[in-house]
């Protein structure tokens, strides 16, 4: 037991003290925050990163002249002579020429390059808006009445359980489930591969024979697995703490900036021109945000966290034992390919299914089975948990998970103890089976 602790300590310290560990630990939150900030920035500026397209409009119908509103990405200006403009608009620095014939039945958009779908869509929307409001006013419909008539109804999903009704925001469940599943998926690969590389390193550097004249192969394998697992947990904790700290800092900075931007925007708008639509949007936003936050609060957070820790731990133990066995069977990393595929197959299979079948149908027979089989349950169950899983199923899945872990580790250890002493022989599956059968 004491020896396992020594091995864990070494495996842990040598990895944590590495420069690359510190780099990854500090860079990931920075990158994460950076990415989030970029998303927020793009959302706020509504794709404002692209350049502004200048559109020359020749309107022969008389419907649109001076009525099309320029936006951040598209600026309209108006001309009258179609033939002349068509020749000169590129030279004059315009990107597109929008031609509306008198009959309006064949509106055309010319450009030196093909206008993008997004841009032509935006122009279409703007044309439609102007045309519609003209038609409506021709029909003598008051714009106030119109604003009232544009009602958007939403359905609020509720789940009835023992504790009465709870909000059941499906999007939040989608999000949290997929997030946890991906996190487990990535970390199983990441840390499993580290265990495998550690085993190969011991084999290649030939220290293995010295080691196992002092400790049992199983102790060495377990010590390595636990040591690397603790490195993973350390990294997660640091990521969470750093992300929290950084995002709080970034959040306050962005928040004040956004407030400032809003002020500028309101100041820029001519009083009274503020349309009903923007007013509406302003009113809607805080409600939506509150609703999302509220729906997250309604999720079984404690259950999700506990299950995450359980499935992360046992999923990692199960898979890293397999990775260790793979590492013991080969002489160098390039040879691992043939054994990696069957080991990683269930993981890849589940993560692909999880995004379609499981998340859309968390109670289907397939989903239930996948969340029972130890090789797939860490991912499948994490997707299902936010939607509510009967306690009996969770218990069964956890028991199977532990049994699966014990069985896999037993099998892996039997291959490992022989594999680590084998050199030069290219191991086949038949060979592995033979190793497994050896008595001692």
- What is the binding site for another protein (CB under 8 A)? 3, 6-7, 10, 14, 201-202, 205-215, 421, 434, 439-440
Of 369 and 438, CB closest to another protein: 438
Of 82 and 436, CB closest to another protein: 436
Of 329 and 389, CB closest to another protein: 329
Q: Which residues, in sequence order, are CB contacts of 73 under 8 Å at separation 6+?
A: 46, 47, 48, 50, 52, 53, 119, 122
Q: From the CB of 408, what's the least distance to another protein, in Å? A: 23
Q: From the CB of 201, what's the least distance to another protein, in Å? A: 8
Of 231 and 304, CB closest to another protein: 231
Contact 420, 404 (CB under 8 A): no
Q: From the CB of 440, what's the least distance to another protein, in Å? A: 4
- Residue 177 sits at φ, ψ, to 5 deg, of -60, -50
- Residue 79 sits at φ, ψ, to 5 deg, of -135, 175
Of 98 and 420, CB closest to another protein: 420
Q: From the CB of 233, what's the least distance to another protein, in Å? A: 22
Contact 419, 329 (CB under 8 A): yes
Q: From the CB of 432, what's the least distance to another protein, in Å? A: 12
Q: From the CB of 167, what's the least distance to another protein, in Å? A: 52
Of 210 and 244, CB closest to another protein: 210
DSSP structure class, residue 400: H
Distances in Å between the Cα of 277 and the Cα atoms of 68, 140, 152 are 16, 20, 13
56-60 contacts: CB < 8 A, separation 24 or more? 56/85, 56/89, 56/92, 56/94, 56/96, 56/97, 56/98, 57/97, 57/98, 57/100, 58/82, 58/85, 58/97, 58/98, 58/99, 58/100, 59/100, 60/99, 60/100, 60/101, 60/102
């Amino acid at each position: 037991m004491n020896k396992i602790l020594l091995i864990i300590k070494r495996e842990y310290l040598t990895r944590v003290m590495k420069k690359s560990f510190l780099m990854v630990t500090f860079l990931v939150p920075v990158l994460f925050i950076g990415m989030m900030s970029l998303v927020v920035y793009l959302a706020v500026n509504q794709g404002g990163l692209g350049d502004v397209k200048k559109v020359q409009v020749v309107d022969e119908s008389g419907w649109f002249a001076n009525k099309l509103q320029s936006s951040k990405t598209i600026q309209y200006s108006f001309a009258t002579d179609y033939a002349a403009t068509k020749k000169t608009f590129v030279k004059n620095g315009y990107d597109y020429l929008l031609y509306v014939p008198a009959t309006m039945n064949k509106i055309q958009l010319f450009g030196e390059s093909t206008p993008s779908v997004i841009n032509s869509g935006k122009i279409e929307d703007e044309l439609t808006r102007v045309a519609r409001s003209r038609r409506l006013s021709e029909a003598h419909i008051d714009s106030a009445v119109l604003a009232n008539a544009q009602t958007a109804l939403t359905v609020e999903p509720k789940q009835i359980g023992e504790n009465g009704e709870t909000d059941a925001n499906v999007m939040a469940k989608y999000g949290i489930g997929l997030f946890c599943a991906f996190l487990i998926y990535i970390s199983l690969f990441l840390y499993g591969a580290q265990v495998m590389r550690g085993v190969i390193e011991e084999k290649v550097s030939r220290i293995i024979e010295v080691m196992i004249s002092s400790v049992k192969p199983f102790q060495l394998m377990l010590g390595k697995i636990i040591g690397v697992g603790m490195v993973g947990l350390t990294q997660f904790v640091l990521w969470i703490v750093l992300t929290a700290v950084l995002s709080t800092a970034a959040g306050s900075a962005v928040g004040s900036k956004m407030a400032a931007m809003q002020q500028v925007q309101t100041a820029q708008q001519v009083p009274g021109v503020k349309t009903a639509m923007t007013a509406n949007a302003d009113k809607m936003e805080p409600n939506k945000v509150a609703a999302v936050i509220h729906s997250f609060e309604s999720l079984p957070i404690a259950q999700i966290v506990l299950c995450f820790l359980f499935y992360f731990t046992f999923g990692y133990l199960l898979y890293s034992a397999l990775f260790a066995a793979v590492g013991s069977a080969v002489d160098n990393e390039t040879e691992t390919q043939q054994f990696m595929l069957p080991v990683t197959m269930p993981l890849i299979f589940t993560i692909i299914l999880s995004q379609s079948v499981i998340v859309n149908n968390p109670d289907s027979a397939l989903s239930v089975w996948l969340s029972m089989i130890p090789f797939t349950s860490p991912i499948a169950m994490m997707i299902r948990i936010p939607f509510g899983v009967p306690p009996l199923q969770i218990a069964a899945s956890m028991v199977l998970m532990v049994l699966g872990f014990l069985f896999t580790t037993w099998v892996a250890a039997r291959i490992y103890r022989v594999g680590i002493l084998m050199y030069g022989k290219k191991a086949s599956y038949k060979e592995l089976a033979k190793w497994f059968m050896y008595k001692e």
